[in-house]
Amino acid sequence: MYESERGLLNRVFKSRYNRFINHSRQLYPVGLLFGLGFDTATQVGVIGISAGAASGGALPPLAIISLPLIFAAGMSLWDTLDGALMCRAYGWAFSHPLRKIYYNLSTTSLSIFVAFVVGTIELIVVLTDKLGVADRQPWALLTGLDLNTIGYFVVGTFLITWLGSMAYWRLAKIEQRYRTTATADSKL
């Protein structure tokens, strides 16, 4: 079974969607519909409509649609940068089996750590709200955390872990150490 033939959606649709999309340019409408489903895109559109209504209808339609267009341009820029970085990371990781294991271990560990931190903060916020202790000192600090600050923490954690992981890989010479061990084992 080919890797592209696996998955629930492929079993449900029996590869029918593969006949409709033959080129990457055909994915743009799919991405546009997907983006419209995001809450942020909808909020940006509502802000534009509200601005038009607040100005007494004097706002031209191009000004109303400019906010969602700027949002889409920003998302496209950052998603492109993310895709380029991830393509390079995957290229590095999948060039050697040991690199793939190392990459998967570090990425999975980091994802678990970030999910645990964010989940714990969210759980504490809900519990302090339900228990009525949100205004008390140790809990007020956690309930007052800004989500942007948590986002910066997540990005910083990913960056520090990625750089530390690369430094450890090179300084500990993991590939050379295990390649030598694997070569010695194969000669036995």
pLDDT digits over 103-127, tens only?
888 888 888 988 998 888 888 888 8
Digit-by-digit pLDDT tens for the chain (188 residues) are: 455 566 776 777 766 666 777 777 777 777 777 766 666 666 777 777 777 777 776 667 777 677 777 877 888 888 888 888 888 878 877 887 888 888 888 888 888 988 998 888 888 888 888 887 767 777 777 777 777 788 888 888 888 887 888 888 888 888 787 776 555 555 55
Which residue type, as a one-letter code, is found at position 34?
A: F
Nearest alpha carbon to residue 150 among 116, 108, 173: 116
Contact (CB, 8 A) for 175 and 99: yes
pLDDT in tens, 162-175: 788 888 888 888 87
CA 2-86-171 angle, 5° bins: 110
| C-alpha distances out from residue 120 to 75, 113, 123, 124, Å | 28, 11, 5, 6
If you ran DSSP here, which 8-state letter would residue 144 be given? T
Angle of helix 147-171 versus helix 174-187 axis, rounded to 10: 50
Q: What predicted TM-score, i.e. pTM, was given to this entire model? A: 0.54
Single-letter code of the amino acid located at 140: A
Name 121's Cβ contacts closer than 8 Å, sequence gap at least 6: 142, 145, 150
